[in-house]
Amino acid sequence: MKKNKEKSNFWKNVKKTWQYIKDARINLIGYAFVSIIEAVIGAILPLVSAKIILSITDGVMNQLILTALSVFAIEFILYIMYYFKGFFYQRVYQKTLINLQTAVARETLNLEIKEIDKASSGMFIDRLNKDTGDISGMFMEYTYWLSYVISNVGVLVAVFILNRYLFIYAIFTSICIFLINKKRLSKQYEVQKNLKKIQEKKTGLTGELVRGIRDIKVLNASSSILKQTTDKIIESSNEEVKMLNIRRIYQYFENNLRSLSDLVFIIIGCFLYEKSLLTIPTFVIVYNYQSKIRNLLMGVVQISEFNKKFIVASDRIYEVIEDEKFAKERFGDLEIKKLNGHIEFCNVKFGYNANNKEIINNMSFEIEPNQKVAFVGKSGAGKTTIFSLITKLYSIDEGEILLDGYNINELTCNSLRDNMSIITQNPYIFNFSIKENLLLAKEDASMKEIRNACKMACIDDFIMSLPEKYETMVGENGVILSGGQKQRLAIARALLMKTEIILFDEATSALDNETQSEIQNAIDNLKGEYTILVVAHRLSTVIDCDKIFVVDEGKIIDSGSHKELLKKSEFYRNLYEKDLNV
> Cα(546)–Cα(542) distance, rounded to whole angstroms?
9
Which residues, other chains included, contact 33 with Cβ-Cβ below 8 Å and sequence gap of 6+? none
**pLDDT tens figures, 474-526:** 887 777 887 778 888 888 888 888 788 888 887 666 566 666 776 676 677 66
Burial 40-71 (b: 16+ CB within 10 A, else e): bbbbbbbebbbbbbbbeeeeeeeebeebeebe
pLDDT, average across residues 381-407 = 88
Q: Are the C-beta atoms of residues 473 and 433 closer than 8 Å to each other?
A: yes
**pLDDT tens figures, 336-378:** 888 888 999 998 888 877 666 778 888 888 999 888 898 988 8
pLDDT at 363: 87
**pLDDT tens figures, 531-549:** 888 887 777 778 888 898 9
> Cα(214)–Cα(169) distance, rounded to whole angstroms?
67
Of 71-80, 271-280, 296-305, 375-384, which gets the smallest average pLDDT? Answer: 296-305
Q: Is the pLDDT of residue 57 over 70?
A: no
pLDDT at 407: 92
Structural domains in the chain, CATH included, are 10-321 (1.20.1560.10), 428-498 (3.40.50.300)
Give the residue among 72, 79, 17 at the shortest CA–CA distance from 48: 72
Q: SS3 string of 518-561?
A: HHHHHHHHHECCEEEEEECCCHHHCCCCCEEEEEECCEEEEEEC
pLDDT, average across residues 414-430 = 82
Partners of 530 in beta bridges: 527
Please, what is the average pLDDT of the chain?
79
Can you give the pTM of this predicted structure? Answer: 0.70
Share of the chain above pLDDT 70, in %: 84
> Cα(398)–Cα(350) distance, rounded to whole angstroms?
7
Give the residue among 159, 167, 148, 154 at the shortest CA–CA distance from 301: 148
Q: What is the end-to-end Cα distance of the chain in Å, rounded?
A: 69
> Cα(174)–Cα(294) distance, rounded to whole angstroms?
5
* Residues in the chain, total: 582
pLDDT at 100: 85
